[in-house]
Structure 1
Amino acid sequence: MDKKKTALIAMSGGVDSSVAAELMSEKGFSCIGCTMRLYENDMIGEDLFGTCCSKKDTDDARAVTEKIGIPYHIFHYEKEFIDNVIEPFVCSYERGETPNPCIRCNKYLKFDILYKKAKELDCEYIVTGHYARIEEKDGHFYLKKAVDDTKDQSYVLYDLTEEQLSHTMFPLGEFKKTQAREIAEKNEFVTSHKSDSQDICFVPDGDYASMIKRYRGKEYPDGDIVDKNGNVIGHHYGLINYTIGQRRGLGVPADKRLYVTEIDTEKNRVVLSDNEDLFKREVTVRDFHWITGEMPKGDIRCSAKIRYKHKEQPATVTLPEKEGGICKILFDEPQRAITAGQSAVLYDGDIVLGGGIICKQ
């Protein structure tokens, strides 16, 4: 078969990747299904349902490939995952940031290391169950939002290159989630009624601090909680337990609602203040990546979002002189809880322009 009609399907054991495999097979592609084994479950505490490396998930992925009639493999990338995702994730928390590890996993594992494996298997494309679209136009490959804006995942894909996009397919980008479920049910996939994963795969219980302490094999020092004037008003139990905008679990008695507005790693303290103090217009972004072609010179008008669930907002952006530089974003209106370690992603309508990591403000 023509190499351009071959595809390696990344299968998590969920409904979306199952349907992606079915759609590619229906289009006449010669498909190979695979699951990336990224970590041992003792690293996250237990073999919990909902992780992408549990036995149930790999069994479900295998069952779907057998039903479709395509080969299936499990590839072990535990070391690569630790080096490119886990270690940077933990380091980011230790710097007082709140990272999004899915972005690094996409860039370094799914669309780099796995694509190299695809080439070894003589596959032209990597296919995933992401809700996003790719459009080729005027010699460039553009990353675009999904048709289903309630499931759009273009935000976590902004760090891909044109080269990576040219060898990637997102068959669910044109579908609604309800349609994907219907396709799975029609094909009687074991994954058809499986719930969506809500947490980071290697922290399925949502307890980031416990996972970090287990990974590092140490406890993190206690310290002061202070108000914006520096007055001590409470006690914290390790900075890794806190994030910007947090209100619950602070353990500080007050006659009004207080929120985390700063994580001061230099002085090992958490700063609390009013909700109004969480709003800012300016954002500094490091490691900026522009997806297609040469970056425009000077300022541009576009929209930007500062976290996955944030609705992008109009802004003026000062781009860096070269890839990987510092970008400045000035929103038209103040945005709440701009958080270091998260990504700021730029959009022109449905097209993702690029993005980078938010610096401490």
Structure 2
Amino acid sequence: MALSRQRVVVGLSGGVDSAVSAWLLKAQGHEVVGIFMKNWEDDDDSEYCSSNADFVDAASVADVIGIEIEHVNFAADYKDRVFAEFLREYQAGRTPNPDVLCNAEIKFKAFLDHAMRLGAEKIATGHYARVRERGGAFELLKGLDPSKDQSYFLHRLNQAQLSRTLFPVGEMHKSEVRRLAAEIGLPNARKKDSTGICFIGERPFREFLGKYLSKAPGPIKDERGRTLGEHQGLSFYTLGQRQGLGIGGVKARGAARGGGEHAPWFVARKDVERNVLWVVQGHDHPWLLSQRLDAADASWVAGQPPAPGPYAAKTRYRQQDAPCRCVPRAEGGFALAFAEPQWAVTPGQSAVLYDGEVCLGGGVIAAPAQGETVPAGRDTSMRGISTAAPQG
């Protein structure tokens, strides 16, 4: 990282990735200041909310590295900008990704603004991603560790944000980060990676959501319209969900599409208007497969949509890049057509577009086209998707 000495404010989460990021920047000669962000405080004393323990870890890291650390409370911003939208999406029957919104609204907006007030020239986080400048423009690249790449969660960052951001561990593999943390004696070198939604943690999700959303029970039906049981409210289920349906003992007649009579059940559709949860039997049931999707609320790293053409996309974080064609829409969204059907494409989640290692941006999945397949040997279909150049 060929940079002159700068004042860099690092988001210290208490985890090993941000700790090593701070150490690397200090070793490179930068003036480093740590910030611990508190984004949730509704149940700060519960067994699932670890912010107090995380701050102790972050402070210990700052002490070892020899940098100052400030505790900043963004909980009000988080509740207004992220959690309120999170609840609205669930109430509408969709499954949002609050980590994407948290990055765009808190970690690279509220935190960035605070860092600039502290006189920072750059901010840094422990995300596994990279930034590359080309001809005065900034590109968001995948992290070099394919198993830890987090560009998916960062796809809504813009040019102004990327121009001020450093990702020191984006050039490293996780194993290297762990090894370096141990070598330099960081107290959290062996700390387990955090999992789950950023403010929920590893807690029973339905129980948590039930504190904020009312239950509206309704029927669970299969593809033939048989009522198999009762759901607790559509908000508490997501497409592709297998556990917690309460219908494990029900069998289909003969070999159901996509699975035999003992195949597990999966959530396939949610009819919000009729309050019906539709389930199917078998992982590869046609109702769980989508050839195309429409996305809304697009955000492009370059500030403008890419040209229509072949790319790759992810419709969920833990998946391989899927070859597709993209056509941006004049109204601010885009359409994707995939070479192979995608499994459990979920409204509310993010569809993120890539050109090789470059993350171009993405949008919120509005509607998948379910039940379509492409015969083997055929090219990606664009039926029903206009290939005219985007307007405006």
**In structure 1, C-alpha distance between the alignment counterparts of 2:350 and 2:244, rounded to whole Å:** 25
- Equivalent in the alignment of 1:7: 8
SS at structure 2 position matched to 1:315: strand
- Equivalent in the alignment of 1:316: 325
Contact residue 158 and residue 291 of structure 1 kept, 8 A = yes
Q: CA deviation at 1:231?
A: 2.8
- Equivalent in the alignment of 2:81: 84
Which of 97, 102, 113 is the equivalent residue of 1:100?
97
- Amino acid of the residue matched to residue 223 of structure 2? K
- Amino acid of the residue matched to residue 35 of structure 1? F
**In structure 2, C-alpha distance between the alignment counterparts of 1:118 and 1:203, rounded to whole Å:** 26
SS at structure 1 position matched to 2:104: helix
**Structure number having the greater helix percentage:** 1
Q: CA deviation at 1:202?
A: 1.9
- Equivalent in the alignment of 2:202: 205
Q: CA deviation at 1:186?
A: 1.4
- Equivalent in the alignment of 1:117: 114
The one-character-per-residue Cα deviations of 1:22-58 (angstroms, maximum 9, x if unpaired) are 0011111101101111111517x71436x4x2x1110
Contact residue 228 and residue 250 of structure 2 kept, 8 A = no
Q: CA deviation at 1:360?
A: 3.2
Contact residue 36 and residue 74 of structure 1 kept, 8 A = yes
Contact residue 3 and residue 124 of structure 1 kept, 8 A = no
**In structure 2, C-alpha distance between the alignment counterparts of 1:273 and 1:126, rounded to whole Å:** 47
- Equivalent in the alignment of 1:231: 226
- Equivalent in the alignment of 2:347: 340
Matched, 1:285 2:289: no
- Equivalent in the alignment of 1:355: 362
Go from structure 1 to structure 2 and tell me whether the alpha carbon gap of 1:254 and 1:296 turns closer, same or farther (over 3 Å shift). same
Contact residue 131 and residue 146 of structure 1 kept, 8 A = yes
- Equivalent in the alignment of 2:371: none
Q: Whose Rg is larger? A: 2
Which of 274, 287, 298 is the equivalent residue of 1:267?
274
**In structure 2, C-alpha distance between the alignment counterparts of 1:47 and 1:189, rounded to whole Å:** 25
**In structure 2, C-alpha distance between the alignment counterparts of 1:4 and 1:343, rounded to whole Å:** 37
**In structure 2, C-alpha distance between the alignment counterparts of 1:77 and 1:247, rounded to whole Å:** 35
Q: CA deviation at 1:229?
A: 3.5
**In structure 1, C-alpha distance between the alignment counterparts of 2:230 and 2:89, rounded to whole Å:** 22
After the TM superposition, list the runs of 4 or more consecutive aligned residues in structure 1 that deviate by more than 6 angstroms. none
- Equivalent in the alignment of 1:56: 53
Q: What runs of 5+ residues in structure 1 fail to find an aligned partner?
A: none
Which of 236, 239, 242 is the equivalent residue of 1:241?
236
Contact residue 5 and residue 31 of structure 2 kept, 8 A = no
Contact residue 107 and residue 157 of structure 1 kept, 8 A = yes
Contact residue 5 and residue 29 of structure 2 kept, 8 A = no
Alpha-carbon RMSD across the aligned residues, in angstroms, is: 1.7
| Greater mean alpha carbon deviation, residues 151-160 or residues 195-204 | 195-204
| Greater mean alpha carbon deviation, residues 205-214 or residues 66-75 | 205-214
Go from structure 1 to structure 2 and tell me whether the alpha carbon gap of 1:15 and 1:329 turns closer, same or farther (over 3 Å shift). same
Higher relative contact order (CA 8 A, sep 6+): 1
SS at structure 2 position matched to 1:360: strand
Contact residue 141 and residue 292 of structure 1 kept, 8 A = yes
**In structure 2, C-alpha distance between the alignment counterparts of 1:3 and 1:239, rounded to whole Å:** 53
TM alignment of 1:57-76, pairs within 5 A? 57-76=54-73
Contact residue 314 and residue 351 of structure 2 kept, 8 A = yes
Q: CA deviation at 1:126?
A: 1.2
Contact residue 288 and residue 320 of structure 1 kept, 8 A = no
Q: CA deviation at 1:170?
A: 0.1
- Amino acid of the residue matched to residue 220 of structure 1? K
Contact residue 209 and residue 240 of structure 1 kept, 8 A = no
Identical-pair percentage: 36
Q: CA deviation at 1:3?
A: 9.5
- Amino acid of the residue matched to residue 240 of structure 1? S
TM-score (norm 1): 0.93
